[in-house]
A and B are shown apart, each in its own frame.
Chain A
Amino acid sequence: AAGVIQSPRHLIKEKRETATLKCYPIPRHDTVYWYQQGPGQDPQFLISFYEKMQSDKGSIPDRFSAQQFSDYHSELNMSSLELGDSALYFCASSLGAGNTEAFFGQGTRLTVV
């Protein structure tokens, strides 16, 4: 069965550079969530989209932006990267919003040097 696809799997960037992470949800899923997990920490909710509209927002820095496209894939854009942005970034998708299971991708490991 198709799962959530994230690309790239690994990314190394220098400070002050920009990065774009992509997420392709499970087919027919209309909701996408982004999470950031630092070393030894729980996944922190960044932002979610339902039917291409932002539906909820968490602790996402102003330097980050995201959107969901007409094909339901989503991109997380990160600018002016800082060392502290180094983390695993997970995307999840679900069918509908609210009380449904969200399925996660393998994550993108971003390293800022």
Chain B
Amino acid sequence: DQQVKQNSPSLSVQEGRISILNCDYTNSMFDYFLWYKKYPAEGPTFLISISSIKDKNEDGRFTVFLNKSAKHLSLHIVPSQPGDSAVYFCAASVTDKLIFGTGTRLQVFP
């Protein structure tokens, strides 16, 4: 049973435009959400997080939005750059573990 879902396995965006990556979760006990970026054969790199008491967190080009009633979060990247091309995982935290989504492969083309 996948508690954290990323329904879009891939996304292709033109450089300079906005990338929107979506994530849905089922467990209402999750209280902290994170986005990680991952290149092949490397460990996930932390990008941005949000607590369940907030609905938005912004860090430079990255903004995460949380809609608790819909159990949905999204990551916006504005403007998208070719170096953003990677697999993006959302993760949800409960107790002492992170539950990862299945990932979305983002490709930013010139």
- Please tell me if the beta carbons of A109 and B98 are within 8 angstroms of each other in the complex: no
Interface size class of B (residues with CB under 8 A): 20 to 34
- In the complex, A43 Cα to B45 Cα: how many Å? 13
Measured between beta carbons, the chain A residues less than 8 angstroms from B103 are 42
- Mark A1-42 against chain B: 1 for CB-CB distance below 8 A, else 0: 000101000000000000000000000000101010000011
Contact of B96 among A6, A35, A50 (CB under 8 A): A50
B42-A43 in contact (CB<8A): no
Query: Please, how many angstroms separate the alpha-carbon atoms of A50 and B97 in the complex?
Result: 11
CB of A72 within 8 A of chain B? Answer: no
Question: Whose C-beta in chain A lies nearest to the C-beta of B49?
Answer: A101
A45-B95 in contact given A104-B45, A109-B41 (Cβ < 8 Å): no
A101 to B47, CA, bound (A): 9
Contacts of A101 in B (CB 8 A): 34, 46, 49
A41, A44, A97, A104 — most chain B CB neighbours (10 Å): A104
A residues near B41, Cβ cutoff 8 Å? 88, 107, 109
Interface size on A, residues (CB 8 A): 29
Name A98's contact: one of B46, B95, B101 (CB within 8 Å): B95
Q: Which residue of B lies closest to A45 (CB)?
A: B97
Q: Which of B31-79 contact A (CB under 8 A)?
A: 31-32, 34, 36, 41-46, 49, 51
Closest chain B residue, CB of each to CB of A97: B96
Fill in one digit per residue for B77-95: 1 if any A CB lies within 8 Å of its CB, else 0: 0000000000001000101
B43 and A4 within 8 A (CB): yes
Question: Are B51 and A58 closer than 8 Å at their CB atoms?
Answer: no
B99, closest chain A residue (CB)? A45
Given contacts A35-B100, A103-B46, 14 further A-B contacts (CB under 8 A): A31-B96, A42-B89, A42-B102, A48-B96, A55-B96, A90-B43, A90-B44, A98-B31, A98-B96, A99-B51, A101-B49, A102-B98, A104-B44, A105-B43
